[in-house]
Amino acid sequence: MLVPALEPDRKMSISSQGYHQTYLSEWAIFVMRNLFTTSPMEVERQVADLRVVSSAMTELEQFFKEHIKYVQGSQISSVFFPKKIEIVDQGIRVTGTFRYWFGEDQKDVALEKSYLLQYKLGRRNLLLLTNVSEEKEPQSR
């Protein structure tokens, strides 16, 4: 039995061939929601939660620092709605709608964005996030 991080009610089994696509998809949704459904008051705690399921990689640490600085500095609140999850050679591509607000402004901005989540297997086959990068394809609406 394998339990996705921080969600013990969503149990999924794996085979000897490794992680099932369903598990990888659920894991990617967990990462994206924790990272991009955020506010200036929550972002540091959320990144700390993600560090628990991450490998100490320089690129990822830089991404986390820039993300915290941007959210707090711009006073952004945001939400990410995943629409499509693809397992690709480089990792997991997550495409969805990214909505955000600046400060107290009620007007939101909605963009279609894709991110590539890279991971590795750690001790005891624990899935660890190694990098998050935005892919520059989707358009705004």
Per-residue pLDDT at 1 exceeds 50? no
Per-residue pLDDT at 3 exceeds 60? no
**Angstrom distance (rounded) from CA 71 to CA 52:** 20
41-72 per-position pLDDT tens digit = 999 999 999 998 898 888 999 999 999 999 99
**Angstrom distance (rounded) from CA 52 to CA 123:** 13
pLDDT of residue 105: 75
Q: What are residue 94's DSSP bridge partners?
A: 85, 115
pLDDT of residue 84: 96
14-35 per-position pLDDT tens digit = 555 667 788 899 999 999 999 9
Residue that has been written with the tokens 């506010």 in this structure: 39
Assign residue 69 a region (left: φ > 0; alpha: ψ between -120 and 50; beta: otherwise).
alpha
Superfamily of domain 21-135: VirB8 protein (3.10.450.230)
Per-residue pLDDT at 2 exceeds 60? no
- Output the DSSP codes for 122-137: -GGG-EEEEEEEEES-
Task: Give the long-range contacts of residues 108-111, CB within 8 A, separation 24 or more.
Answer: 109/140, 110/140, 110/141, 111/138, 111/139, 111/140, 111/141
**pTM, whole model, 2 decimals?**
0.81
pLDDT of residue 20: 78
Give domain limits for the chain.
21-135
